[in-house]
Structure 1
Amino acid sequence: MIALGAMSGTSTDGVDVAAVQIDAKTQEMRFLGVRSTEFPPDLKQTLLSLQEIPPRFPLGADPIAILLEARKGLTEVYASTVGDLLSFLGLESTDVQVLGAHGQTLRHRPDLGYTYQMLDGALLATRTGIDVVNDFRSKDIALGGQGAPLVPAFHQAWLNGKGVYDQTAVLNLGGFSNLTVLNGQGQPLAGGDCGPANCLMDLWAQRAFGLSMDSDGEIAAMGSPDDTLLERFWTHPFFHQPWPKSTGRDDFNVQWFDQCLADSDNLSSEDVMATLLALAVRAVKSCLPVLVEQVYVCGGGAKNSTLINQLRCECSPADILPIENLGLPAQAVEAAAFSWLAAQYLLGVAGNSPSVTGAGRPAILGALHRAL
């Protein structure tokens, strides 16, 4: 079957849609292609506002209407990107069996028993003419799990298909970082979220430099990490919890960030950026098992050479390698994962990894919206 996966992550920069061919019997996979679309500036700002606690709306505005309009706008970007990918691959919607769509995370509080990824699955199915599976995280949460990360099971399936079974990790550097650790054939997966990666650096790039991001870590490379500020960041309780754990902007919000920055006026903006990059590296290193020999990196942060070089220094002797070595573009991995998860739904196969999320049992994930 041909399955598509669509993902917009916590960096809130846009949508990635990937196509994967999956053998229903053997689960062998072949990557077909990916297309990405940046969010229009107004939609991006609304999505970021909706993720703030409390959200920032104009006085007298209707917050529910704002949310619903943003959901429609987000879904339309998903649909147009699906159309771009189909055109690129020369496919029709009837050639595709399913579209797995993650949606935009607005709240993630497994400790309170809920998570919310905004998307209009019915509208997406109607616009694309493809059956849509979305709302992947809720079932795992209902079973007492974290609901995240869900990509480790896909990482395992993809790496096993390449003959890789143990002493290997996959590191996703999105808005937040997460790790998948393969412990050998027949052994349970390990993994979980590590902490902030791009999200705080993007916030600081916008606030201090008027930029959407620190491209290639150039700003961080001009500064020096400040130990006092780094330790202040590190007092966040999330860093000191064992797996299973997951996080998001609920935990690492603007208010927390500003409190940490108090009394740091003596630092240059470049030093703050360098400290945020050091925090991202430290979060990964604190979760990486010592027996791991190779780490395949994916996500937007894989393009940040300053970040990758620091990871190579701090995580030695483990080799830091590009996920492209295993036949997947770095930006396509999470989208490809949701194509695989949607295929598992159609096949009636569990998609979560209880050893990673802490759920009470394996479960089929998602909710189906028929195109017809």
Structure 2
Amino acid sequence: MIVLGAMSGTSTDGVDVAAIQIDPTSEEMRFLGAVSTVFTPDLRSNLLLLQQIPPQFGANSDPLGIFLQARRDLTLVYADSVNELLVTLGLDTKDVRVLGAHGQTLRHRPDLGYTYQMLDGALLASACQIDVVSDLRSKDVALGGQGAPLVPAFHQAWLNGKGIHERTAVLNLGGFSNLTVLHGAGVPVIGGDCGPANCLMDLWAQRVFSLPMDEDGEIASSGNPDQGLLNKLWAHPFFAQAWPKSTGRDEFNEQWFDSCVASFGILSPEDVMATLLALTVKAVESSLPAHVKQVYVCGGGAKNSALMAQLKSTCSPVDFLPIENLGLPTQAVEAAAFAWLAAQNISGKTGNCPSVTGARQGGVLGALYLCDSGR
């Protein structure tokens, strides 16, 4: 069967949609294709506004109206991206069994018993004429888990399909970084979030250099990490916690970042960027188990050659390899994972890894919205 997945991550820069084919009998998977859509400036601005704690709404504004309009706008971007991928692949909606849609995380506080990914599943199913599975994190949180990361089960299934079962990890370098670690055949995977990755570097690039990101780490490469600032950032209590753990903009927000940087006003902007890159590397290095021999890398950070060079140097002799070696484009991995999770849902199969999230048990994840045809 053909299944689709759509993902907008903590970088809040756009939507990735991927298609995979799954053999219902053997469960073998094949990647079919993917597309990416960049958010308009207005939509991205509203999504970031809604992620602020507290959101800084203007005078006489309608916060609920802003939320509902952003949800509709985001859902229609998902729908347009799905339709674009169908045209690209020459597929009809009837060729697709289900669409797994992540939505945009606005709050993630499993310690308080909630996580929220904004999306209108009913509208998406109607707009695409495909059954939709969304709200995929809430069940794991209801079972006492972190609700994140959810991709390790897919990583394990994909790598096992390539004959890889042990001493291997998958590193996602998105807005935040997370790891999936394979111990061996029949042994539960472990993993979790490591810490900030692109989110803080992107914030600094946009604020100080008026750039969307530090392209290829050029700014960071022109500066030098400041040990004092790095120590200040590393003092965040998240880094001292053991897995299972997950994080997001709720914890690593602008207010926290600004308070850290304010203590080091004499630093050059380039040195701050270099320090943020060093923080990303330190978070990954401290999370990587000693038995891992090779790491497959995905996410936007995989394209940052300065970041990859520092990871390879710091974590030597571990091999860092592109996820493309396993037949998946780096930008499509998380979208493909949510396609797989949707397939698990309609098959009545477990989607989470309690060994990663800390949930009491495995569960079927997500809420199913039927399209108008009621397939």
Interval containing the TM-score (normalised by the shorter chain): over 0.9
Question: In the alignment, is the contact (CA less than 8 A) between 1:169 and 1:180 conserved in 2?
Answer: yes
Secondary structure (helix, strand or coil) at the match of 1:97 reads strand
Correspondence list, 1:301-316, <5 A:
301-316=301-316
Distance 2:165 2:282 in 1: 26
CA deviation after TM superposition for structure 1 residue 263, in Å: 2.5
Secondary structure (helix, strand or coil) at the match of 2:27 reads coil
TM-score (norm 2): 0.99
**Identical columns (%):** 71
What residue is the counterpart of 2:359 in the other structure?
359
Distance 1:352 1:51 in 2: 25
What residue is the counterpart of 1:214 in the other structure?
214
Amino acid at match of 2:10: T
Tell me whether 1:182 sits opposite 2:182 in the alignment.
Answer: yes
Distance 1:178 1:40 in 2: 27
Question: In the alignment, is the contact (CA less than 8 A) between 1:24 and 1:347 conserved in 2?
Answer: no
What residue is the counterpart of 1:269 in the other structure?
269
What residue is the counterpart of 2:291 in the other structure?
291
Secondary structure (helix, strand or coil) at the match of 2:167 reads strand
Distance 2:265 2:235 in 1: 20
Distance 2:353 2:145 in 1: 10
What residue is the counterpart of 1:254 in the other structure?
254
Correspondence list, 1:1-372, <5 A:
1-372=1-372
Amino acid at match of 2:121: G
Amino acid at match of 1:63: P
Distance 2:105 2:257 in 1: 20
Distance 1:56 1:37 in 2: 27
| Worse overlay, 257-266 or 231-240 | 257-266
Q: Deviations over 1:300-346 (max 9, x none)?
A: 11110000011000111110000000000000000000000000001
Secondary structure (helix, strand or coil) at the match of 2:20 reads strand
Secondary structure (helix, strand or coil) at the match of 1:153 reads helix
Question: In the alignment, is the contact (CA less than 8 A) between 1:192 and 1:244 conserved in 2?
Answer: yes
Q: Deviations over 1:54-77 (max 9, x none)?
A: 112111211111000000000010
Secondary structure (helix, strand or coil) at the match of 1:279 reads helix
Gaps of 5+ in 2: none
Distance 1:188 1:2 in 2: 27
CA deviation after TM superposition for structure 1 residue 267, in Å: 0.7
Q: Deviations over 1:131-179 (max 9, x none)?
A: 0000000000000000000000000000000000000000000000000
Distance 1:70 1:313 in 2: 42
Gaps of 5+ in 1: none
Secondary structure (helix, strand or coil) at the match of 1:195 reads strand
Distance 2:263 2:342 in 1: 48
Amino acid at match of 1:33: G
Q: Extract structure 1 runs of 4+ deviating beyond 2 A.
A: none
Question: CA-atom RMSD, angstroms?
Answer: 0.5
Secondary structure (helix, strand or coil) at the match of 2:21 reads strand
TM-score (norm 1): 1.00
